[in-house]
Chains A and B, each alone.
Chain A
Amino acid sequence: MPYFPQEVVECIFSYLTSHQDRNSVSLVCKDWSVIEQKTRRHVYVANCYAVSPTRVATRFPGLWVLTVKGMPHFADFRLVPRGWGGSVQPWINAMACSCPRLEEIRFKRMVVSDESLMLISRSFPNLKALVLVSCRAFSTDGLTYIASSCRQLRELDLQENEVNDRGSQWLECFPNSFTSLESLKFTCLRSAVNSATLEGLVARCPNLRTLHVNSSISVECLSRILIRAPRLVDLGTGSLSSNQMGWYRRLFYSFQKCKGLKSLSGIWFVGPRTFQPVVYPVCGNLLSLKLSSAPWILKSDLLNVISNCPRLQKLWVVDRIGDEGLAVVGSTCQDLRELRVFQSNFHGPSCWVTDEGLIAISTGCPKLNCLLYYCAQMTNAALMTVAKNCPDLIQFKLRNLDPVKPDPVTNHPLDEGFGAIVQGCKGLKRLSLSGFLTDQVFLYIGMYAEQLEMLSIAYAGETDNGMMYVLNGCKNLRKLKIQDCPFGDGALLEDFTKYETLRSLWMSSCEVTIGGCKALAAKNTQLSVEVISDLNSISGLSLEPSKNQRAEKVYIYRTVAGPRTDAPTNVSIL
């Protein structure tokens, strides 16, 4: 740039934090591109196969923070076979070579091995944060490397990982000189933790503000920890069951000292009428309460607690709270921004929460941004009420337990209700639909959901038009996830230019055929079309499948790295 010297431009760019802004400035001219590359500190890779790790590492040598996501979202629901891919090893190798100053590493839905963890601990002396969410294939042995070698670690965050838990020796590997910990989350580990080790760690880390323990931590240990760390802001408790009432009193006193506690979660097995009195001292300040892992809490206890938490902004509960419980939430928590109601019974429908609860919530909580709702039934009227009362909704995921259930009052499909949502909530970015839906709802979505970035559909629609309305209408759509809908090759192949802006498309149990997928792959070289077959299928894709054979699972994503080389035999890249 001829007007300013390079240092000035660098300084200006340092104020640019959003990825979109950074991407835009790098396209202006070559000089700006070079400067931007040197000064980029954060990279967010939403699909690990969209770009090659070496390219990222060599292009941005000054990286501090790396976030990579691997498997498609439906892997959480076991729709993606285990060996699909998404290993972190190529990323660690590339970063170790070119970006040794890396400070934060975040992986989601990826395959992490103990060797990768060892390499991380040895290659990045400045490592301050390691966050692993929904990852798998590592063991607690790998954590010992991290604990013993990463002297500057501030954050170790393990959420919902599948870990081979060989014991809690890793916790003992934090040296006595290690005092920098600010956040520790290990709820996904199952084995018993040595209380003395944990208490020692907590005692010598004065900056610890976030602690999520696993269910093996007893009430006794928890109250001792709280006494040592009264400045905790975010606590995930262990099992709160104990045979000795004396410890509950001590826990109560410990909670009294925690004046700054804003976020509470965990709360595994807890006896009746012990929960509310114990946490009463912190209720008034609580901003976040996550009880989705505690389906056995008595409803009366739960409502007693919630009615004492007027400042609550985030609430995760199980559907046993019922419609009446949601009415209590609506009348108490006017500041609520996020509500997630999970189902408690995995083996059959439950009827505790319906459209009435949703109406009660929307009436009482107009500031709602994020709503996840598992329910037994939903009506168009309720959805329209939500659209009218909560215009700030950014995320709305409705999970009707019967996926094709119409409005039970009118017996109409839920098209009008969701149409109202997309019309009324102008900032809606993530939407997940269920219930009986025809093509009409997709027409509404295509017409009104301008900011929509993620759409998840199951058992909806009638013809290819449904999918085409969405693809043609939603200009900002990035992820489209479709399960069990009658969309076929017509919708898939209708307009190839759509796939430039779409980050990924997942279609399972739809009507697309192998022929259709091949046609798509042939037309578009920057698209990776993966056809995933189940391990048990006899007619593997190595035998020439007929063009009209249905493709059971298709995962399509844009990539500049070419077809990947680590796909297993049941994944065919066309």
Chain B
Amino acid sequence: MSVETERSSTESDVSGLDYEETALTLGIPGGARVAGAELERKRGFSKTVDLTSRIGTSEDRSDESPDTNTAGSAKAPAPKARVVGWPPVRNYRKNALKSSNKYVKVAVDGAPYLRKVDLEAYGGYEELLSSLQEMFSCFTIRNYPNEERKLVDPIHGTEYVPTYEDKDGDWMLVGDVPWKMFVDACKRLRLMKSSEATNLGLILNYLIFELKRRSSACFIYVFPLSFLFV
């Protein structure tokens, strides 16, 4: 308690406000714990210091005598660089200020020009596919029982398989990985004619078979699909 008034008197010089009045001499409104408050406070603080060890390094004050006129009666815990949930940032604000818009090119086999879509604007695969459907307005989405989604051109009956090029340059089927992972990895989209996709599959199988047959060491190298588009 004495340390408090000493501190407050130095600070009242700074601000001009008289802090003698705020020293703990009056009863606390609603309860009477004046006598034990000081001891409790100090004990409580060392408890706090243990509790907040996740915040920073704690300093044990249990051996500090009440007469010590060190800087304040309470030692501050060392500041931690980041604590969970602080400082509070509104979810909306965080989302609103994301500066990256993930625009990727969308190519459709047989279409004269490409389009661009903002992957960040969609919440999932459904929304992306329905948006592609609207954009190249000649398709409808057909859901297959094995959860494969294909875009179908109802006039000619050709199916389109959505594929994308990932960071490694490989062409992958859309829909395998979680949405967020896909948004991160996708560099461009291509709606491939289904017939071509199955042809590619056949070509690949043949290549693998030939390699296996010819090489003495059992070494299989799977060509990236882009190799075949050259």
B-chain residues with CB within 8 Å of residue A462 when the two chains form the complex:
41, 44-45, 47-48, 74
Q: Which one of B88-96, B105-113, B185-193 is at the interface?
A: B88-96
**Is residue A15 within 8 Å, beta carbon to beta carbon, of the partner chain?**
no
**Is residue A438 within 8 Å, beta carbon to beta carbon, of the partner chain?**
yes
Do the beta carbons of A404 and B52 come within 8 Å of each other?
A: yes
* CB-CB contacts below 8 Å: B21-47 with A: 22, 24, 26, 28-31, 33, 37, 40-41, 43-45, 47
A contact residues, total (Cβ < 8 Å): 71
**Is residue A486 within 8 Å, beta carbon to beta carbon, of the partner chain?**
yes
Do the beta carbons of A439 and B81 come within 8 Å of each other?
A: no
Do the beta carbons of A413 and B8 come within 8 Å of each other?
A: no
B contact residues, total (Cβ < 8 Å): 55
Q: Which one of A145-153, A198-206, A225-233, A377-385 is at the interface?
A: A377-385
**Is residue B86 within 8 Å, beta carbon to beta carbon, of the partner chain?**
yes
**B121 CB, nearest partner CB in chain A, Å:** 6
**A220 CB, nearest partner CB in chain B, Å:** 20
* CB-CB contacts below 8 Å: A511-530 with B: 511
Cα distance A134–B96 when bound, in Å? 13
B-chain residues with CB within 8 Å of residue A160 when the two chains form the complex:
90, 92
**Is residue B60 within 8 Å, beta carbon to beta carbon, of the partner chain?**
no
Q: If A293-B97, A404-B56 touch, does A388 touch B17 (CB 8 Å cutoff)?
A: yes
**Is residue A444 within 8 Å, beta carbon to beta carbon, of the partner chain?**
yes
**A391 CB, nearest partner CB in chain B, Å:** 12
Q: If A384-B17, A413-B76 touch, does A165 touch B121 (CB 8 Å cutoff)?
A: yes
Do the beta carbons of B41 and A410 come within 8 Å of each other?
A: no
B-chain residues with CB within 8 Å of residue A423 when the two chains form the complex:
17, 22
Do the beta carbons of B28 and A443 come within 8 Å of each other?
A: yes
Cα distance A188–B93 when bound, in Å? 10
**B22 CB, nearest partner CB in chain A, Å:** 6
Q: If A293-B96, A411-B71, A469-B28 touch, does A384 touch B88 (CB 8 Å cutoff)?
A: no
**Is residue A34 within 8 Å, beta carbon to beta carbon, of the partner chain?**
no
Chain A, Cβ-Cβ closest to B45: A462
**Is residue A420 within 8 Å, beta carbon to beta carbon, of the partner chain?**
yes
B-chain residues with CB within 8 Å of residue A381 when the two chains form the complex:
11, 14-15
**Is residue A446 within 8 Å, beta carbon to beta carbon, of the partner chain?**
yes
Chain A, Cβ-Cβ closest to B98: A346
Chain B, Cβ-Cβ closest to A381: B14
Do the beta carbons of A399 and B30 come within 8 Å of each other?
A: no
**Is residue B183 within 8 Å, beta carbon to beta carbon, of the partner chain?**
no
**Is residue A76 within 8 Å, beta carbon to beta carbon, of the partner chain?**
yes
Cα distance A458–B86 when bound, in Å? 9
Cα distance A420–B14 when bound, in Å? 13
Given contacts A439-B41, A446-B28, A484-B85, 17 further A-B pairs with CB under 8 A are A76-B90, A296-B99, A348-B81, A384-B15, A385-B15, A410-B72, A413-B74, A424-B17, A438-B45, A440-B4, A458-B86, A462-B44, A462-B47, A463-B43, A465-B44, A472-B28, A486-B52
Sorted nearest first, the 8 A-B pairs with minimum C-beta distance are A472-B30, A463-B44, A384-B15, A406-B76, A462-B44, A412-B72, A160-B92, A402-B79
Q: Which residues of A contact B (CB under 8 A)?
A: 76-79, 134, 160, 162, 164-166, 188, 190-191, 292-293, 295-296, 342-343, 346, 348-349, 374, 380-381, 384-385, 387-388, 399-406, 410-413, 416, 419-420, 423-424, 434, 436, 438-440, 443-444, 446-447, 458-459, 461-463, 465, 468-469, 472-473, 483-484, 486, 495, 509, 511
Q: Which residues of B contact A (CB under 8 A)?
A: 4, 7-8, 11, 14-17, 19, 22, 24, 26, 28-31, 33, 37, 40-41, 43-45, 47-48, 51-52, 55-56, 71-72, 74, 76-77, 79-83, 85-94, 96-97, 99, 121, 123, 127
A-B contacts, 14 of them at CB < 8 A, read: A77-B89, A293-B93, A384-B15, A388-B17, A400-B87, A406-B72, A423-B22, A438-B41, A459-B52, A462-B74, A472-B28, A472-B30, A472-B31, A486-B47
